[in-house]
Amino acid sequence: MQLELRVDRTSPVPLYFQLAQQLEAAIEHGSLTPGSLLGNEIELAARLGLSRPTVRQAIQSLVDKGLLVRRRGVGTQVVHSQVKRPLELSSLYDDLEAAGQRPATTVLVNTVVQASAEVAAALAVAEGSDVHRVERLRLAHGEPMAYLCNHLPSGLLDLDTGQLQTTGLYRLMRAAGITLHSARQSIGARAATAAEAERLAEHEGAPLLTMQRTTYDDTGRAVEFGDHLYRPTRYSFEFQLLVRP
């Protein structure tokens, strides 16, 4: 591992945290790619003049985040970087591509159903009317990252399962001439059910990020209602906050 790592002993920031931040940045920026071996803890400690427990604590913090994994007989290995998604009107597929995550999709459901009260309210259609329901499992580097459930007004566009497996929903909507203009979105968290945990390779009760979004076109029409679940070890939302004058 040829990385420029330094710690500032005069800083109030704990040494293990300084090291963990630099290693995480190297993973995010691609200096440490998935599959890379981190190296020997003893050598790293000697190189930085740190104690082995300090180095071990830094590495463990990244193991806990899901960025590193300890493999018996192999060593500490980079798994992947966490996708940090800005809160803007973009698709997960596009964000994963931009982050170099090699997205893939498994389509679980692609059918027409009757709108529930929640879906009908979001799409401004009558309860019980036909809507298109799409359920997908989004993967990156072959690992499940998110479960995506989307409802669209019936007849809005032709949703081909093959296309849904190879590209993002918003790309298909734009290709059909739909101009995405704005969205209302809420973010939360809850524990995974047994079925959700199995889908996302988590354990039952594990914390999951939730996101609900209603998207509107340039005429003000609701064109999509999404209800998504994300693995927090693989995914986070980023906010930019502005101070009011």
- What digits encode the pLDDT tens for the residues 92-114? 655 655 555 567 889 999 999 99
Q: Predicted confidence band at 22 (pLDDT cuts at 50, 70, 90)?
A: confident
Which residue in the block uniquely carries the two structure tokens 């082995």? 52
pLDDT of residue 237: 61
Q: Predicted confidence band at 83 (pLDDT cuts at 50, 70, 90)?
A: low
Q: What are the structural domain ranges in the chain? A: 15-78, 83-238
pLDDT of residue 97: 58
Q: Predicted confidence band at 18 (pLDDT cuts at 50, 70, 90)?
A: confident
Pairing state of beta strands 235-238 and 83-86?
Answer: parallel
Contact present, 174 and 157 (Cβ < 8 Å): no
Q: Mean pLDDT for the chain?
A: 82
Instruction: Quote the percentage of the chain above a pLDDT of 70.
Output: 83
Report pLDDT digits (tens) over 173-188.
989 999 988 888 888 9
Residue 44 has pLDDT above 70, yes or no: yes
The tokens for 233 are 């070890």
Query: Closest Cα to residue 176, out of 160, 161, 188?
Result: 160
Query: What's the full length of the chain, in residues?
Result: 245
Query: Closest Cα to residue 183, out of 150, 214, 222, 156?
Result: 214
Residues with Cβ within 8 Å of 162's Cβ and at least 6 positions away in sequence, in order, are none
Q: Predicted confidence band at 136 (pLDDT cuts at 50, 70, 90)?
A: very high
Instruction: Quote the percentage of the chain above a pLDDT of 90.
Output: 31
Query: Closest Cα to residue 139, out of 73, 230, 239?
Result: 230
Residues with Cβ within 8 Å of 174's Cβ and at least 6 positions away in sequence, in order, are 180
Residue 151 has pLDDT above 90, yes or no: yes
Residue 84 has pLDDT above 60, yes or no: no
pLDDT of residue 123: 92
* Range scoring the smallest mean pLDDT among 86-90, 153-157, 164-168: 86-90
State phi, psi for 97 to the nearest 5 degrees. -60, -45
d(CA 87, CA 238): 6
- Rounded-to-10 torsion of CA 200, 204, 209, 211: 80
pLDDT of residue 77: 79
d(CA 71, CA 234): 19
pLDDT of residue 50: 86
Contact present, 86 and 238 (Cβ < 8 Å): yes
Is the CATH code 3.30.413.10 the one for domain 15-78?
no
Identical fold between 15-78 and 83-238 = no
Q: Under CATH, to which class is 83-238 assigned?
A: alpha beta
Residue 131 has pLDDT above 90, yes or no: yes
Instruction: Specify the 3-state DSSP secondary structure of 94.
Output: helix
